[in-house]
Amino acid sequence: MKKKRLALVSLCVLGVANSVAVAGEKENKFNPLQSAVPSLSIAPDARGGGMGDVGVATSPDINSQYWNPAKYAHMESHGGFSLSYTPWLRKIVNDIDLVYLGGYYKLDDLQALSASFRYFSMGEINLTQAPGPDGQVISDGTCNPYEMSFDLAYSRKLSENWSAAVALRFIYSDLTNGMTDDETVTAGKAMAADVAAYYRKPIELGGEGNKPSYASFGINISNIGSKVSYDDGETNQFIPTNLRLGGSFEYPFDDFNSVSLSVDLNKLLVPTPPKLEQGEGESEADFQKRQSDAWDDYYHTSPVSGIFKSFTDAPGGGSEELEEIMWSVGAEYSYNKQFLVRAGYFHESENKGNRKYWAFGAGFNLSIFQLNAAYLMSTAQTSPLDQTLRFTLGFDIAGLKGIMNNSKEDDK
Protein backbone atom coordinates (compact mmCIF):
# COMPACT_ATOMS: atom_id res chain seq x y z
CA MET A 1 0.00 0.00 0.00
CA LYS A 2 2.76 2.40 0.94
CA LYS A 3 4.54 1.56 -2.27
CA LYS A 4 1.47 2.53 -4.25
CA ARG A 5 1.39 5.86 -2.46
CA LEU A 6 5.03 6.31 -3.44
CA ALA A 7 4.04 5.61 -7.04
CA LEU A 8 1.44 8.36 -6.76
CA VAL A 9 4.05 10.77 -5.46
CA SER A 10 6.34 9.80 -8.33
CA LEU A 11 3.60 10.71 -10.79
CA CYS A 12 3.24 14.10 -9.15
CA VAL A 13 6.96 14.66 -9.50
CA LEU A 14 6.76 13.64 -13.14
CA GLY A 15 3.97 16.14 -13.67
CA VAL A 16 6.04 19.04 -12.39
CA ALA A 17 9.27 17.93 -14.05
CA ASN A 18 9.08 20.98 -16.31
CA SER A 19 9.68 23.31 -13.37
CA VAL A 20 12.34 21.42 -11.45
CA ALA A 21 16.02 21.97 -12.17
CA VAL A 22 19.30 20.89 -10.67
CA ALA A 23 20.08 23.36 -7.93
CA GLY A 24 23.69 22.31 -7.45
CA GLU A 25 25.63 24.17 -4.82
CA LYS A 26 22.80 26.67 -4.38
CA GLU A 27 20.28 24.04 -3.28
CA ASN A 28 19.85 25.84 0.06
CA LYS A 29 18.21 28.71 -1.87
CA PHE A 30 16.22 26.49 -4.22
CA ASN A 31 12.58 26.96 -3.23
CA PRO A 32 10.23 26.69 -6.23
CA LEU A 33 6.52 27.34 -5.92
CA GLN A 34 4.41 24.18 -5.84
CA SER A 35 1.01 23.49 -7.34
CA ALA A 36 -1.11 20.59 -8.50
CA VAL A 37 -2.08 20.13 -12.17
CA PRO A 38 1.09 21.88 -13.42
CA SER A 39 0.19 21.03 -17.01
CA LEU A 40 -2.21 24.00 -16.93
CA SER A 41 0.85 26.25 -17.09
CA ILE A 42 2.21 24.78 -20.33
CA ALA A 43 1.73 27.12 -23.27
CA PRO A 44 -0.22 25.02 -25.78
CA ASP A 45 0.14 26.80 -29.13
CA ALA A 46 3.09 27.26 -31.46
CA ARG A 47 2.67 31.01 -32.03
CA GLY A 48 3.11 32.00 -28.39
CA GLY A 49 5.61 29.18 -27.88
CA GLY A 50 7.72 30.46 -30.77
CA MET A 51 8.08 33.83 -29.04
CA GLY A 52 9.29 32.52 -25.69
CA ASP A 53 5.80 31.95 -24.22
CA VAL A 54 4.55 35.48 -24.92
CA GLY A 55 0.89 36.17 -25.67
CA VAL A 56 -1.14 38.22 -23.19
CA ALA A 57 -0.89 41.42 -25.28
CA THR A 58 0.00 40.20 -28.77
CA SER A 59 -2.42 40.70 -31.66
CA PRO A 60 -5.58 38.55 -31.36
CA ASP A 61 -5.55 35.06 -32.83
CA ILE A 62 -7.45 31.78 -32.59
CA ASN A 63 -5.47 30.59 -29.55
CA SER A 64 -6.12 33.64 -27.38
CA GLN A 65 -8.14 31.51 -24.94
CA TYR A 66 -5.01 30.48 -23.05
CA TRP A 67 -3.21 33.83 -23.15
CA ASN A 68 -6.03 36.37 -22.86
CA PRO A 69 -9.62 35.57 -23.93
CA ALA A 70 -10.45 39.30 -23.97
CA LYS A 71 -8.61 39.51 -27.30
CA TYR A 72 -11.37 37.61 -29.09
CA ALA A 73 -13.62 40.69 -29.04
CA HIS A 74 -11.08 42.37 -31.36
CA MET A 75 -10.96 39.54 -33.91
CA GLU A 76 -11.95 40.55 -37.44
CA SER A 77 -13.06 37.08 -38.57
CA HIS A 78 -16.40 35.66 -37.39
CA GLY A 79 -14.86 32.51 -35.95
CA GLY A 80 -12.22 29.84 -36.07
CA PHE A 81 -10.74 26.81 -34.32
CA SER A 82 -7.32 25.22 -33.97
CA LEU A 83 -5.60 22.02 -32.89
CA SER A 84 -2.19 22.07 -31.16
CA TYR A 85 0.15 19.21 -30.34
CA THR A 86 3.23 19.27 -28.11
CA PRO A 87 5.48 16.24 -27.48
CA TRP A 88 6.62 16.97 -23.90
CA LEU A 89 9.92 16.15 -22.15
CA ARG A 90 11.21 14.22 -25.14
CA LYS A 91 14.75 14.16 -23.69
CA ILE A 92 13.44 11.94 -20.88
CA VAL A 93 10.52 9.88 -22.24
CA ASN A 94 8.71 9.48 -25.54
CA ASP A 95 5.09 9.07 -24.48
CA ILE A 96 4.19 12.35 -22.73
CA ASP A 97 2.29 14.89 -24.81
CA LEU A 98 -0.19 17.75 -24.72
CA VAL A 99 -3.17 18.07 -27.07
CA TYR A 100 -5.09 21.35 -27.14
CA LEU A 101 -8.24 22.26 -29.05
CA GLY A 102 -9.45 25.86 -29.01
CA GLY A 103 -11.90 28.03 -30.88
CA TYR A 104 -14.15 31.09 -30.83
CA TYR A 105 -17.25 32.57 -32.45
CA LYS A 106 -18.13 36.27 -32.76
CA LEU A 107 -21.74 36.91 -31.72
CA ASP A 108 -21.56 40.42 -33.19
CA ASP A 109 -19.04 43.22 -33.51
CA LEU A 110 -18.75 43.56 -29.73
CA GLN A 111 -19.09 40.05 -28.27
CA ALA A 112 -17.49 36.64 -28.64
CA LEU A 113 -17.77 33.18 -27.13
CA SER A 114 -14.73 30.92 -26.93
CA ALA A 115 -13.79 27.52 -25.56
CA SER A 116 -10.84 25.17 -25.26
CA PHE A 117 -10.11 21.57 -24.29
CA ARG A 118 -6.72 20.49 -22.94
CA TYR A 119 -5.54 16.89 -22.53
CA PHE A 120 -2.12 16.12 -21.00
CA SER A 121 -1.07 12.48 -21.12
CA MET A 122 1.71 11.42 -18.73
CA GLY A 123 2.43 8.22 -20.61
CA GLU A 124 2.55 4.71 -19.23
CA ILE A 125 3.62 4.25 -15.61
CA ASN A 126 4.62 0.94 -14.03
CA LEU A 127 3.19 0.37 -10.54
CA THR A 128 5.32 -1.84 -8.32
CA GLN A 129 5.43 -3.15 -4.78
CA ALA A 130 8.48 -3.49 -2.55
CA PRO A 131 10.90 -6.32 -3.50
CA GLY A 132 10.09 -9.69 -1.97
CA PRO A 133 12.44 -11.89 0.08
CA ASP A 134 14.19 -13.05 -3.06
CA GLY A 135 14.74 -9.44 -4.17
CA GLN A 136 12.30 -9.72 -7.06
CA VAL A 137 10.12 -6.65 -7.66
CA ILE A 138 6.43 -7.47 -7.91
CA SER A 139 4.58 -5.61 -10.64
CA ASP A 140 1.07 -4.33 -10.05
CA GLY A 141 0.55 -3.51 -13.70
CA THR A 142 0.58 -0.21 -15.51
CA CYS A 143 -1.55 2.91 -15.61
CA ASN A 144 -1.88 5.90 -17.91
CA PRO A 145 -2.31 9.03 -15.76
CA TYR A 146 -3.59 12.19 -17.37
CA GLU A 147 -4.79 15.71 -16.67
CA MET A 148 -7.43 17.59 -18.62
CA SER A 149 -9.48 20.75 -18.53
CA PHE A 150 -12.38 22.31 -20.37
CA ASP A 151 -13.29 25.99 -20.33
CA LEU A 152 -15.75 28.49 -21.75
CA ALA A 153 -15.22 32.24 -21.99
CA TYR A 154 -17.24 35.32 -22.85
CA SER A 155 -15.50 38.48 -24.09
CA ARG A 156 -16.90 41.90 -24.86
CA LYS A 157 -15.65 45.24 -26.10
CA LEU A 158 -16.11 47.95 -23.47
CA SER A 159 -15.02 50.72 -25.83
CA GLU A 160 -13.27 51.08 -29.15
CA ASN A 161 -9.97 50.06 -27.58
CA TRP A 162 -10.82 48.18 -24.36
CA SER A 163 -12.25 44.69 -23.96
CA ALA A 164 -12.73 42.31 -21.03
CA ALA A 165 -13.46 38.61 -20.57
CA VAL A 166 -14.35 35.98 -17.99
CA ALA A 167 -13.77 32.25 -18.33
CA LEU A 168 -14.97 29.24 -16.35
CA ARG A 169 -12.91 26.05 -16.24
CA PHE A 170 -13.37 22.46 -15.09
CA ILE A 171 -10.15 20.66 -14.15
CA TYR A 172 -9.67 16.91 -13.78
CA SER A 173 -6.44 15.16 -12.76
CA ASP A 174 -6.25 11.36 -12.58
CA LEU A 175 -2.81 10.23 -11.44
CA THR A 176 -3.48 6.51 -10.95
CA ASN A 177 -6.00 5.82 -13.71
CA GLY A 178 -7.84 3.37 -11.43
CA MET A 179 -4.80 1.10 -10.92
CA THR A 180 -4.95 1.02 -7.12
CA ASP A 181 -7.08 -0.66 -4.46
CA ASP A 182 -6.52 2.25 -2.06
CA GLU A 183 -9.94 3.91 -1.81
CA THR A 184 -8.43 7.06 -0.31
CA VAL A 185 -6.50 7.75 -3.53
CA THR A 186 -8.88 9.67 -5.77
CA ALA A 187 -8.79 11.76 -8.92
CA GLY A 188 -8.47 15.49 -8.31
CA LYS A 189 -11.20 17.86 -9.45
CA ALA A 190 -11.43 21.64 -9.35
CA MET A 191 -13.38 24.58 -10.72
CA ALA A 192 -11.60 27.77 -11.69
CA ALA A 193 -12.15 31.11 -13.40
CA ASP A 194 -10.12 33.60 -15.42
CA VAL A 195 -10.53 37.38 -15.45
CA ALA A 196 -8.85 39.23 -18.32
CA ALA A 197 -8.64 42.63 -20.00
CA TYR A 198 -7.08 43.84 -23.26
CA TYR A 199 -6.29 47.26 -24.70
CA ARG A 200 -5.35 47.81 -28.34
CA LYS A 201 -4.98 51.22 -29.97
CA PRO A 202 -3.77 52.30 -33.43
CA ILE A 203 -0.98 54.87 -33.44
CA GLU A 204 -0.09 57.05 -36.44
CA LEU A 205 3.69 57.24 -36.63
CA GLY A 206 4.31 57.64 -40.36
CA GLY A 207 3.10 60.04 -42.98
CA GLU A 208 -0.38 60.31 -44.41
CA GLY A 209 -1.65 57.10 -45.94
CA ASN A 210 0.74 54.81 -44.07
CA LYS A 211 -0.59 51.83 -42.14
CA PRO A 212 -1.01 52.51 -38.39
CA SER A 213 1.12 50.96 -35.70
CA TYR A 214 -0.57 49.27 -32.74
CA ALA A 215 0.17 49.50 -29.04
CA SER A 216 -1.41 46.80 -26.87
CA PHE A 217 -1.63 45.95 -23.19
CA GLY A 218 -3.09 42.84 -21.59
CA ILE A 219 -3.69 41.28 -18.19
CA ASN A 220 -5.03 37.85 -17.31
CA ILE A 221 -5.51 36.33 -13.85
CA SER A 222 -6.11 32.67 -14.58
CA ASN A 223 -7.12 29.58 -12.58
CA ILE A 224 -8.73 31.39 -9.66
CA GLY A 225 -10.50 28.51 -8.02
CA SER A 226 -10.76 25.62 -5.63
CA LYS A 227 -7.91 23.41 -4.48
CA VAL A 228 -7.26 19.83 -5.61
CA SER A 229 -7.14 16.76 -3.39
CA TYR A 230 -5.83 13.30 -4.31
CA ASP A 231 -6.57 11.66 -0.95
CA ASP A 232 -10.29 12.25 -0.47
CA GLY A 233 -9.84 15.65 1.17
CA GLU A 234 -7.12 14.71 3.65
CA THR A 235 -4.75 17.22 2.05
CA ASN A 236 -5.51 19.93 -0.51
CA GLN A 237 -3.13 21.42 -3.03
CA PHE A 238 -3.22 24.73 -4.86
CA ILE A 239 -3.86 24.86 -8.58
CA PRO A 240 -1.55 27.16 -10.60
CA THR A 241 -3.35 30.49 -10.19
CA ASN A 242 -1.33 32.88 -12.32
CA LEU A 243 -1.03 36.62 -12.92
CA ARG A 244 0.10 37.42 -16.46
CA LEU A 245 0.51 40.97 -17.75
CA GLY A 246 2.39 42.47 -20.64
CA GLY A 247 2.59 44.83 -23.56
CA SER A 248 3.13 44.65 -27.30
CA PHE A 249 4.02 47.07 -30.09
CA GLU A 250 3.42 46.35 -33.77
CA TYR A 251 5.10 48.46 -36.43
CA PRO A 252 4.45 48.16 -40.20
CA PHE A 253 7.39 49.13 -42.41
CA ASP A 254 5.16 49.23 -45.49
CA ASP A 255 2.06 47.53 -46.89
CA PHE A 256 3.71 44.10 -46.75
CA ASN A 257 6.29 44.01 -43.97
CA SER A 258 5.70 44.46 -40.24
CA VAL A 259 7.33 43.52 -36.96
CA SER A 260 6.01 43.27 -33.41
CA LEU A 261 7.86 43.26 -30.08
CA SER A 262 6.19 41.88 -26.94
CA VAL A 263 6.98 41.28 -23.29
CA ASP A 264 5.13 39.20 -20.65
CA LEU A 265 5.53 39.07 -16.88
CA ASN A 266 4.21 36.09 -14.91
CA LYS A 267 3.78 35.34 -11.23
CA LEU A 268 2.18 32.28 -9.70
CA LEU A 269 -0.36 33.43 -7.11
CA VAL A 270 0.21 30.55 -4.70
CA PRO A 271 1.95 30.71 -1.32
CA THR A 272 5.66 30.00 -1.11
CA PRO A 273 6.30 26.61 0.56
CA PRO A 274 7.66 27.00 4.11
CA LYS A 275 11.40 26.58 4.37
CA LEU A 276 12.59 26.58 7.97
CA GLU A 277 15.99 26.18 9.57
CA GLN A 278 16.62 24.77 13.01
CA GLY A 279 17.36 27.57 15.45
CA GLU A 280 20.40 27.64 17.67
CA GLY A 281 19.62 25.75 20.84
CA GLU A 282 16.28 24.50 19.46
CA SER A 283 15.64 20.85 20.12
CA GLU A 284 14.93 18.49 17.26
CA ALA A 285 11.44 17.82 18.61
CA ASP A 286 10.60 21.53 18.78
CA PHE A 287 11.97 22.07 15.28
CA GLN A 288 9.94 19.20 13.87
CA LYS A 289 6.78 20.54 15.52
CA ARG A 290 7.40 24.05 14.20
CA GLN A 291 7.99 22.66 10.75
CA SER A 292 4.84 20.51 10.94
CA ASP A 293 2.77 23.52 12.04
CA ALA A 294 4.13 25.59 9.16
CA TRP A 295 3.18 22.97 6.59
CA ASP A 296 -0.21 22.47 8.23
CA ASP A 297 -0.85 26.21 7.93
CA TYR A 298 0.31 26.09 4.30
CA TYR A 299 -2.09 23.29 3.34
CA HIS A 300 -5.02 24.91 5.18
CA THR A 301 -4.60 28.31 3.52
CA SER A 302 -7.64 29.09 1.38
CA PRO A 303 -7.16 29.81 -2.34
CA VAL A 304 -8.16 33.48 -1.92
CA SER A 305 -5.87 33.96 1.07
CA GLY A 306 -3.13 32.21 -0.86
CA ILE A 307 -3.39 34.78 -3.66
CA PHE A 308 -2.78 37.68 -1.27
CA LYS A 309 -0.12 35.82 0.72
CA SER A 310 1.80 35.04 -2.46
CA PHE A 311 3.02 38.65 -2.65
CA THR A 312 4.55 38.81 0.84
CA ASP A 313 5.31 35.33 2.20
CA ALA A 314 8.67 34.43 0.59
CA PRO A 315 11.18 33.41 3.31
CA GLY A 316 13.84 35.54 1.65
CA GLY A 317 11.73 38.69 1.72
CA GLY A 318 11.37 41.13 -1.16
CA SER A 319 14.36 39.81 -3.09
CA GLU A 320 12.87 36.31 -3.18
CA GLU A 321 9.46 37.70 -4.15
CA LEU A 322 11.09 39.32 -7.19
CA GLU A 323 12.68 35.97 -8.07
CA GLU A 324 9.17 34.50 -8.35
CA ILE A 325 8.43 36.77 -11.33
CA MET A 326 9.08 35.09 -14.67
CA TRP A 327 9.59 37.23 -17.75
CA SER A 328 9.70 36.61 -21.46
CA VAL A 329 10.28 38.72 -24.57
CA GLY A 330 9.34 37.88 -28.13
CA ALA A 331 9.40 39.24 -31.66
CA GLU A 332 7.39 38.39 -34.75
CA TYR A 333 8.10 39.38 -38.34
CA SER A 334 5.26 39.20 -40.84
CA TYR A 335 5.30 39.39 -44.62
CA ASN A 336 1.86 40.27 -45.99
CA LYS A 337 0.31 38.53 -42.94
CA GLN A 338 1.03 35.23 -44.69
CA PHE A 339 4.58 34.25 -43.83
CA LEU A 340 5.78 34.77 -40.24
CA VAL A 341 9.04 34.24 -38.39
CA ARG A 342 9.31 34.38 -34.58
CA ALA A 343 11.88 34.32 -31.81
CA GLY A 344 11.82 34.88 -28.06
CA TYR A 345 13.43 34.22 -24.69
CA PHE A 346 11.95 32.97 -21.40
CA HIS A 347 13.61 33.49 -18.01
CA GLU A 348 12.89 32.01 -14.59
CA SER A 349 15.13 32.41 -11.54
CA GLU A 350 17.42 29.46 -10.88
CA ASN A 351 16.06 29.38 -7.32
CA LYS A 352 12.46 29.05 -8.54
CA GLY A 353 12.78 26.45 -11.28
CA ASN A 354 15.60 27.59 -13.57
CA ARG A 355 13.65 27.46 -16.82
CA LYS A 356 15.68 29.52 -19.26
CA TYR A 357 15.34 29.00 -22.96
CA TRP A 358 15.31 30.51 -26.42
CA ALA A 359 12.37 29.80 -28.69
CA PHE A 360 12.04 30.00 -32.45
CA GLY A 361 9.04 29.59 -34.69
CA ALA A 362 7.51 30.06 -38.11
CA GLY A 363 4.01 30.29 -39.50
CA PHE A 364 2.17 30.20 -42.79
CA ASN A 365 -1.29 31.74 -43.18
CA LEU A 366 -3.88 31.35 -45.91
CA SER A 367 -7.48 32.53 -45.95
CA ILE A 368 -8.58 29.02 -44.96
CA PHE A 369 -5.98 27.68 -42.54
CA GLN A 370 -2.89 28.58 -40.53
CA LEU A 371 0.10 26.34 -39.82
CA ASN A 372 2.57 27.21 -37.06
CA ALA A 373 5.56 25.42 -35.55
CA ALA A 374 7.90 26.29 -32.66
CA TYR A 375 11.18 24.93 -31.29
CA LEU A 376 12.61 25.43 -27.80
CA MET A 377 16.33 25.51 -27.06
CA SER A 378 17.23 25.53 -23.37
CA THR A 379 20.14 27.57 -22.00
CA ALA A 380 20.01 25.87 -18.58
CA GLN A 381 22.19 22.80 -18.22
CA THR A 382 20.47 19.39 -18.14
CA SER A 383 17.05 20.95 -18.76
CA PRO A 384 14.41 18.37 -19.81
CA LEU A 385 12.70 21.11 -21.85
CA ASP A 386 15.48 21.29 -24.42
CA GLN A 387 14.40 20.53 -28.02
CA THR A 388 10.68 20.79 -27.25
CA LEU A 389 8.51 21.15 -30.36
CA ARG A 390 5.01 22.58 -30.78
CA PHE A 391 2.65 22.38 -33.74
CA THR A 392 -0.62 24.25 -34.33
CA LEU A 393 -3.09 23.97 -37.19
CA GLY A 394 -5.84 26.58 -37.30
CA PHE A 395 -8.91 27.06 -39.49
CA ASP A 396 -10.95 30.16 -40.28
CA ILE A 397 -14.71 29.64 -40.40
CA ALA A 398 -15.27 32.34 -43.04
CA GLY A 399 -12.68 30.74 -45.29
CA LEU A 400 -14.25 27.30 -44.89
CA LYS A 401 -17.69 28.71 -45.67
CA GLY A 402 -16.28 30.33 -48.80
CA ILE A 403 -14.93 27.00 -50.04
CA MET A 404 -18.26 25.26 -49.37
CA ASN A 405 -20.22 27.99 -51.17
CA ASN A 406 -17.89 27.87 -54.18
CA SER A 407 -18.23 24.09 -54.27
CA LYS A 408 -22.02 24.36 -54.31
CA GLU A 409 -21.92 26.91 -57.14
CA ASP A 410 -19.62 24.63 -59.16
CA ASP A 411 -22.05 21.74 -58.68
CA LYS A 412 -24.83 23.87 -60.13
Return the HEC string of the chain.
CHHHHHHHHHHHHHHCHHHCCCCHHHHHHCCCCCCCCHHHHCCCCHHHHCCCCCCCCCCCCCCHHHHCHHHHHHCCCCEEEEEEEEECCCCCCCCCEEEEEEEEEECCCCEEEEEEEEEEECCCEEEECCCCCCCCCCEEEEECCEEEEEEEEEEEECCCCEEEEEEEEEEEEECCCCCCCCCCCCCEEEEEEEEEEEEEEEECCCCCCCCCEEEEEEEEEEEEECCECCCCCCCCECCCCEEEEEEEEEEECCCCEEEEEEEEEEEECCCCCCCCCCCCCCCHHHHHHHHHHHHHHHHCCCHHHHHHHCCCCCCCCHHHHHHCEEEEEEEEEEECCCEEEEEEEEECCCCCCCCEEEEEEEEEECCCEEEEEEEEEECCCCCCCCCCEEEEEEEEHHHHHHHHHHHHHHHC
CA distance 169 to 188: 14
CA distance 336 to 213: 15
Q: What is the pLDDT of residue 400?
A: 63
- Could you tell me the residue range of the domain that residue 33 belongs to? 2-411
CA distance 133 to 214: 71
**Lowest mean pLDDT segment, chosen from 174-178, 210-214, 290-294, 376-380:** 174-178
Is the pLDDT confidence value at 134 over 90?
no
Contact (CB, 8 A) for 121 and 164: no
Q: What pLDDT, in 10s, does the model give residues 42-87?
A: 999 999 999 999 999 999 999 999 999 999 999 998 999 999 999 9
Q: What pLDDT, in 10s, does the model give residues 198-243?
A: 999 999 876 555 788 999 999 999 999 999 988 877 788 999 999 9
Is the pLDDT confidence value at 10 over 50?
no
Report the candidate in 33, 303, 40 with the shortest Cα–Cα distance to residue 147: 40
How many residues would you count in the chain? 412
Q: What pLDDT, in 10s, does the model give residues 261-280?
A: 999 999 999 998 887 777 78
Q: What pLDDT, in 10s, does the model give residues 339-364?
A: 999 999 999 998 888 899 999 999 99
The CA-to-CA distance between both ends of the chain, in Å, stands at 69
How many domains are there within the chain?
1
CA angle 125, 129, 89 (to 5 degrees): 20
Global pTM reads: 0.86
**CATH code for the domain of 287:** 2.40.160.40
